A and B are shown apart, each in its own frame.
Chain A
């Protein structure tokens, strides 16, 4: 029976340059009911490690490609990776046969305390060596290349010496990893640090980019007024759609994900955002550009 189920699965091959959605718990029932005509979904790996959520993901996997996007591996941890968590993520990947596996350029754990957030790194040669070592260890445990996402950050460190795009390019060169180009994160970080968003895009090594992320953000108030927050609680902002078009110019079509993690709307709203991304991709694919993920 298990063999038949596996044989009926969508293959584990690359995702086409199409739009997918972040699958979240409130949409499980609606998604299984509607079986929307999208090729792929992305999930936060930590929410699907066991139990009924894993069973839902295996059901979804029969018809859809899956991208496993972890949030708590803490690739920037100076103390090294949490081996128990890494082995659980590798076991999940073995079961799900994802088309993509990804994490963030961030840290979230120190001295066995997990802080449940994507915390910023000083961008130094020391950090680069630590992150590269951790990415290599993760890729070895997974037995494959992973994608690393450019983060949304709210602060910088005075001793940083490497611009973020250069840091990510060096990480690609050292480890053979790929990248997620999170367009919303570029808009957020650029606003928060006075960077030029187009220059941020141009600094990323295009050939390494295997996926785009799009999401909504919000404006901070109070003492942090003037900063943008990576809240994923609303529709994709016009500035993010505009920078996505620039990314399509500079980098080309790739699988593109709509993320919505708070104030989650009904599934059709999310699928509507995906359709918008799909239309923008389709216009470029019609121009005859490369349609496969790098």
Chain B
């Protein structure tokens, strides 16, 4: 192993090892000691990762308060640093982290709000790809329809939530304090969950509540199940209307018949 790789691994361990983690012995002190010098980088790393999570999870920060949020982010960041250089992709595991985070146990809906916020960030920053035009399907020969596979729109997330996260999210991000309090007060936390498609709309994120049948169909198609097989999983009476809804709402970016070309509206990052 190269000496530099070894040093970088030890440096990372010291950065993420908490305030008491000693710097690698190669770090020089001087006017200011080595631990205080390393602590500047530790503060930058935790601060930058917390900042990235703050951009993605503003509703979580409002729900738990700034100090609680910062502490949760610091714990999450050292356990789960980003695996991508693109920080918009950071924090996919934050909802699961919150679910297991003992101090957050009294807020069982928190993880679902986090799932919604991650989907919203994905919707806002995904490549600007046009949605599949339902008319493009007319070009598909009837015999090939059953084998058609769909490409999910890059801004799409499908969420199966147990708590009324969309109402909480919308209420807590209301800027005007009195209105925010009124909206939060009106929420029935036992109102149950929602099955949602989240994707980019004309003006920001679009939250689309789906019926159980439409949600099942969306999940099957987004997962690559051929159209015929996916439709067979839905009650026959609902199949056509569900498919029409998903197509007109822009859940897909393209489709491909077996052995045929991909129909799409272009690929713009």
Binding site for B on A (CB under 8 A): 46, 49-55, 72-74, 76-79, 82, 84-85, 88, 91, 95, 107, 109-117, 119-122, 124, 126-127, 130, 154-159, 193-194, 220, 222-227, 229
Q: Smallest Cβ distance from A216 to chain B, in angstroms?
A: 16
13 A-B pairs (CB sep. < 8 Å): A52-B124, A74-B85, A82-B85, A84-B84, A109-B85, A117-B41, A121-B4, A155-B23, A157-B7, A193-B30, A222-B36, A224-B36, A226-B31
- B5 is contacted by which of A72, A74, A78, A112 (Cβ under 8 Å)? A78
The chain A residue with its CB closest to the CB of B3 is: A126
Q: How large is the interface on B (under 10, 10 to 19, 20 to 34, 35 or more residues)?
A: 35 or more
B41 touches A157 (CB 8 A): no
Q: Is B39 an interface residue (CB 8 A)?
A: yes
- Partner of A229 from B38, B40, B48 at Cβ < 8 Å: B40
What's the nearest-Cβ distance from chain A to residue B75, in Å? 16
Task: Tell me the bound Cα distance from A167 to B87 in angstroms.
Answer: 30
CB-CB under 8 A for A194 and B30, given A116-B82, A122-B7, A227-B37: yes
Q: Is B20 an interface residue (CB 8 A)?
A: no
Which residue in B8, B15, B49, B125 is a CB contact (below 8 Å) of A77? B8
B40 and A85 contacting across the interface, CB-CB below 8 Å? no
Which residues does chain A contribute within 8 Å of B52, judged by CB atoms?
A: 116
Which of chain A's residues have a CB closer than 8 A to the CB of B28?
A: 155-158
A155 in contact with B2 given A109-B85, A112-B83, A119-B11 (CB within 8 Å): no
Residues of B within 8 A of A51 (CB): 124-128
Quote the shortest CB–CB distance from B76 to chain A (angstroms).
13
Residue pair A154, B40 in contact (C-beta under 8 Å): yes
Complex Cα spacing A53 to B121, Å: 13
- List the B side residues contacting A155 at CB < 8 Å: 23, 27-28, 34, 37-38, 41
Contact of A113 among B44, B82, B128, B269 (CB under 8 A): B82
For B25, give the chain A residue with the smallest CB separation: A158
Residues of chain B within 8 A (CB-CB) of A194 are 30-31
* Contact partners of B140 in chain A: CB under 8 A: none
Report A-chain residues with C-beta under 8 Å of the C-beta of B23: 155
- Does chain A have a CB within 8 A of B86? yes
With A55-B128, A110-B5, A223-B33 given, is the CB distance from A157 to B85 under 8 Å? no
Q: For residue B49, which residues in chain A have a CB less than 8 angstroms away from its CB?
A: 116
Chain A residues lying within 8 Å of B38, measured Cβ to Cβ, are 155
Q: Contact at A79–B5, with CB atoms within 8 Å?
A: yes
Decide if B224 is an interface residue (CB 8 Å cutoff).
Answer: no
B128-A49 in contact (CB<8A): no
Contact with A along B142-184 (1 / 0, CB 8 A): 0000000000000000000000000000000000000000000
A155 to B34, CA, bound (A): 7
* CB-nearest residue of chain B to A80: B5
B15: which of A95, A111, A115, A223 is its contact (CB, 8 Å)? A115
B15: A residues at CB distance < 8 A: 115
Residues of A within 8 A of B5 (CB): 78-79, 110
Q: In the complex, what residues of B have CB within 8 A of residue A95's CB? A: 269
Given contacts A79-B5, A116-B49, A227 and B124 within 8 Å (CB-CB): no
Q: A54-B128, A155-B27, A224-B40 are in contact. List 12 more A-B contacts (CB 8 A).
A: A49-B269, A51-B128, A52-B124, A73-B85, A88-B86, A110-B8, A113-B82, A154-B40, A155-B41, A158-B28, A223-B35, A229-B40
Which residues of chain B are within 8 angstroms of A225 by Cβ–Cβ distance?
A: 32
Given A85-B86, A111-B9, check contact A157 B27 (CB 8 Å): yes
Give the CA-CA distance A294 to B116 in the complex, in Å.
Answer: 49
Whole-angstrom CA separation of A83 from B261 in the bound complex? 28
With beta carbons under 8 angstroms apart, the residue of B39, B84, B128 that contacts A52 is: B128
A159 / chain B contacts, CB cutoff of 8 Å: 26
Residues of A within 8 A of B40 (CB): 154, 220, 224, 227, 229
Query: What's the least CB distance linking B260 to chain A, in Å?
Result: 27
